[in-house]
Amino acid sequence: MDDPNLSAPTPPSAADEALYAALVKADRSEALGPLVAGMAHELNDLLTRMLGAVTLARGSAGEAPLAEAEAACLAARDLARRMLALAHGGSGTRAAVSVRDLLTEAARNAGAGAAAEIAVDAPEGIDPVAVDRGEMLQALQNIVRNALEAMSPPPQRPRVQLRAANVELPAGQVAGLPAGDYVEIEVRDNGAGIRAENLEKIWEPFFTTKRHGAGLGLPTALAIVRRHGGQIGVDSDVRVGTVFTIFLPGAAAARDARAHAAPSQRFRTGRILVMDDDEQIRSLTGKMLERLDYKADLARDGEEAVAMYKRYFDVGRAYDAVILDLTVVGGMGGEEAFARLRALDPDVRAIAATSGDPDAAAARCLALGFCGCLARPYRPADLGNILGTVTGSGT
């Protein structure tokens, strides 16, 4: 941190916390329209890439179009997950998240269509942070958006810089934070700056100097960061620019929060049971498993899956793992099927397959006793990784 006397807001009272919670919801509603419009535009671009690449691949012997289609599919998957997080107001759960990914996504979302250059400097080795991804993205986007709006009229070369670094804070250096390891995030602009008399006011709900502003962005960001055990400070020079500095506790270590390792390599039959009510997904997953050198048995719903599992378990040939679709239309879904399988075999290794918010689904499924959670869409490599963890056979 450049300035140890960086201006930071005073600690909140209980009433402030309740107000901040309401502000988070109000701010999200205000930002929803532009964000969804931007995401829809981005999704159309990705679909254009996929459709064009697949069409070209039909008449091409090369693999370049298919590689482009795969890259576009992965980007569309990430976009769908962001839309789910936005729709749900954040996952409600915290997991170790890459700071570089957070900053890159916040810059892309908030900077869509902006004339300013937005640069992200988050080198390898930055500690992950344990956050609700949706909420922290909201906070960072608010700060980036505030920086962009501060450039009116724009300087000759409008620029916003996002930087991250690992820091160790001694006690008392940053108000409200105990000593420890933190990730420091800076959002620096070369805009008009904030007048000294307004530095404290910017944290007050509904205070704004913008003609059409609501005064919710910065108070909301502050509420979210504090709820995650962090703090925000600001330093500004009129006609030079402003730097917001965020401190977030570093996560102890990044780990796969969507799968539990098996206690032992029990049967090692090389056989996986897949239950999905979508015939195409069921067949495609079976082909992926064959590529990974597994044998796949396919079931349409939970009842069929339980019957197939029992048939082989009774002769001492239980499946290495079971992949269960959580949502089955008109039939037994994954949760009920898992409960019946666990009554039959307490050591069943079940993986939940879901198209919903992956972080929220993982937290719920692992709490129910599933060994892992597989988020759609997935690739053979994703299947191999989670099966290696769940069965204890490695990747």
Contact 317/338 with Cβ under 8 angstroms? no
Task: Delineate the domains of the chain, giving CATH numbers in brackets.
Answer: 14-249 (3.30.565.10), 271-391 (3.40.50.2300)
- Enter the pTM of the model: 0.53
Taking the CA atoms of the chain, what radius of gyration do you get in angstroms? 24
The span from the CA of 292 to the CA of 23, in Å, is 48
What is the full DSSP assignment across 8-77? Answer: -PPPP-HHHHHHHHHHHHHHHHHHHHHHHHHHHHHHHHHHHHHHHHHHHHHT-SSSHHHHHHHHHHHHHH
Which of 60-74, 241-255, 380-394 reaches the highest mean pLDDT?
Answer: 380-394
Among residues 203, 233, 237, the alpha carbon closest in space to that of 220 is found at 203
Give 75-132 pLDDT, tens digit per residue.
Answer: 777 667 666 665 555 555 677 889 999 999 899 888 877 788 899 999 989 999 988 8
Distance between the two ends of the chain, CA-based, in angstroms?
40
Contact 258/373 with Cβ under 8 angstroms? yes
Give 189-229 pLDDT, tens digit per residue.
Answer: 998 888 888 888 888 877 776 665 566 788 888 888 988 89
CA dihedral 14, 16, 21, 23 (to 10 degrees): 170
The per-residue pLDDT for 26 is: 55
Which of 133-137, 153-157, 184-188 reaches the highest mean pLDDT?
Answer: 184-188
CB atoms within 10 A of CB 274: 27
CB-based burial label for 283 (10 Å; 0-12, 13-18, 19+): middle
Residue with tokens 């048995």: 297
Among residues 167, 179, 177, 79, the alpha carbon closest in space to that of 127 is found at 167
pLDDT higher than 60, residue 267: no
pLDDT higher than 50, residue 22: yes
The span from the CA of 259 to the CA of 170, in Å, is 35
Which H/E stretch holds residue 217? helix 217-227
Give 302-338 pLDDT, tens digit per residue.
Answer: 999 999 999 999 998 889 999 999 888 888 999 999 9
Percent of the chain with pLDDT over 90: 30
